[in-house]
Amino acid sequence: AQKVTQAQTEISVVEKEDVTLDCVYETRDTTYYLFWYKQPPSGELVFLIRRNSFDEQNEISGRYSWNFQKSTSSFNFTITASQVVDSAVYFCALTSGNTPLVFGKGTRLSVIA
């Protein structure tokens, strides 16, 4: 069975602080795919990143960066110099390929001006 754990239910930071959202996953498959989605107050889930199990290279996109570590089954997401517009619920998700996405319970991030 596949499982995604986001232990942080809610995080509150002051604008310009860095924040890391944790994601730990469980799967018996050797090939799998990890995702992060953002859900702003408007409701739709916005795709942020996809990473496959064979690519442990960390990725940076502007203020966003992702740290994938197979040894600890983690795929953490860091926002540098947070902004109020980053306030949203963030979901980590997992699939083995042809199965529907399994989501974590989400982390609600509030960035205070």
Partner 1 sequence: EADIYQTPRYLVIGTGKKITLECSQTMGHDKMYWYQQDPGMELHLIHYSYGVNSTEKGDLSSESTVSRIRTEHFPLTLESARPSHTSQYLCASSEGHGVGTEAFFGQGTRLTVV
Give the contact letters, 52-91, x = binds to partner 1 (CB under 8 A), - = no. Answer: x------------------------------------x-x
Q: Is position 103 an interface residue for partner 1 (rule: CB under 8 A)?
A: yes
> CA–CA separation, 75 vs 51, rounded Å?
9
CB atoms within 10 A of CB 36: 22
Looking at the Cβ atoms of 43 and 113, the one nearer to partner 1 is 43
Per-residue three-class SS string for 23-55: CEEECCCCCCEEEEEEECCCCCCEEEEEEECCC
Q: Are 102 and 94 in contact (CB under 8 A)?
A: yes
- The span of 13-21, 63-71, 73-81, 104-112 binding partner 1 (CB under 8 A) equals 104-112
Q: Is position 35 an interface residue for partner 1 (rule: CB under 8 A)?
A: yes
Q: Is position 40 an interface residue for partner 1 (rule: CB under 8 A)?
A: no
